[in-house]
């Protein structure tokens, strides 16, 4: 499973800004006085004439050079990566600063890697499930057009968060969206479990036929793998129950209530 690295994929060039040209301070008493020839034009300051626009000095720009912004983004990223395990909240702030500094100067892939690191930083902070789902969705969007596998990975991460929080409809949408990717970065048994979670979400939404299809797809992912025979059987049984529920939903409700009373 590809895990975006904390370092930039490509070496970021560091452009050294050129030193500003020295300018004479008009109030510097030690500066060499200007020479006025005896037969020169009249003093414009005294005569009240306005100099041409081409003769006016250009205002100094306060905006940092692109090379400075790239260097700053790289420094913040390296510092944040070192803090991901020990101070994830600090790392998150640094990564967000790096994204801000890198606006317009970092490549799409470099920004996507930063978004993935933000996901890691938020995931290392307990109690931030809502923020984790949002960060994963942002990371998935940032990888669009760059890596289908990374889009699917972050979409499934958001789906799992919604699944754990009981947001079954939203989770089902995200699971279905990501599981359609042909380049899923997971082993077959994990893909089977993801389909199982999708099936459960669909059941909670009373979409039993769709749930049966999800369970069947999960079973197919581990078919013919003896070490996963139990998982395969569970998924086949779940698909059968869902098809039965689709044909007779009232009977399934009665069976469910009866099972609850027997506990």
Give the count of domains, the chain. Answer: 3
The alpha helices in 44-102, defined as continuous H runs, are: 44-47, 66-83, 88-101
Same domain, 110 and 171: no
> Running DSSP on this structure, what letter comes out for residue 143?
H
Distance separating alpha carbons of residues 100 and 94, to the nearest angstrom: 10
The alpha helices in 108-262, defined as continuous H runs, are: 108-123, 129-143, 148-164, 168-179, 188-204, 208-221, 229-247, 249-262
Same domain, 108 and 136: no
Residues 109 and 146 sit within 8 Å (Cβ to Cβ): yes
- From 125, 145, 163, give the residue that closes a domain: 125
Distance separating alpha carbons of residues 68 and 62, to the nearest angstrom: 12
Closest CA to 117 of 81, 147, 74: 81
Same domain, 181 and 194: no
Q: In sequence order, what are the residues at sequence separation of 6 or more whose Cβ sits closer than 8 angstroms to the Cβ of residue 258?
A: none
Residues 248 and 254 sit within 8 Å (Cβ to Cβ): no
Q: Which two tokens stand for residue 58?
A: 């250009």
Closest CA to 202 of 193, 215, 211: 211
**Residue range of the domain that includes 161:** 131-185
pLDDT of amino acid 69: 85
- From 125, 146, 172, give the residue that closes a domain: 125
Low-confidence ranges of the chain (pLDDT < 70): 1-67, 249-263
For 113-140, the DSSP string reads: HHHHHHHHHHHTSTT-HHHHHHHHHHHH
Q: Does a structural domain hold residue 88?
A: yes
pLDDT of amino acid 256: 59
Same domain, 194 and 223: yes
Q: Does a structural domain hold residue 2?
A: no
pLDDT of amino acid 15: 38
pLDDT of amino acid 192: 98
Distance separating alpha carbons of residues 43 and 24, to the nearest angstrom: 19
């Amino acid at each position: 499973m590809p895990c975006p690295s904390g370092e930039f994929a490509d070496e970021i060039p560091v452009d050294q800004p050129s030193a500003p040209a020295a300018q004479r301070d008009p109030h510097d008493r030690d500066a060499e006085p200007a020479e006025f020839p005896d037969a020169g034009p009249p003093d414009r300051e005294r005569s009240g004439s306005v100099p041409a626009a081409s003769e006016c000095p250009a205002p100094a720009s306060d905006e940092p050079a692109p090379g400075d912004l790239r260097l700053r983004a790289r420094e913040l990223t390296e510092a944040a990566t070192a803090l991901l395990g020990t101070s994830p909240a600090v790392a998150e702030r640094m990564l967000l600063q790096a994204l801000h500094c890198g606006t317009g100067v970092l490549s799409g892939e470099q920004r996507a890697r930063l978004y993935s690191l933000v996901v890691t930083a938020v995931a290392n902070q307990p109690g931030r499930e809502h923020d984790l789902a949002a960060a994963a969705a942002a990371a998935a969007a940032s990888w669009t057009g760059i890596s289908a596998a990374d889009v699917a990975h972050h979409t499934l991460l958001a789906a799992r968060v919604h699944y754990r929080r009981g947001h079954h409809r939203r989770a089902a949408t995200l699971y279905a969206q990501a599981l359609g990717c042909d380049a899923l970065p997971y082993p077959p048994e994990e893909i089977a479990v993801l389909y199982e979670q999708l099936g459960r979400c669909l059941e909670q939404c009373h979409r039993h036929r769709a749930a049966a299809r999800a369970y069947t797809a999960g079973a197919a992912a581990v078919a013919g793998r003896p070490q996963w025979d139990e998982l395969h059987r569970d998924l086949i049984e779940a698909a059968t129950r869902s098809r039965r529920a689709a044909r007779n939903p009232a009977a399934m409700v009665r069976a469910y209530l009866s099972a609850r009373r027997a506990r």
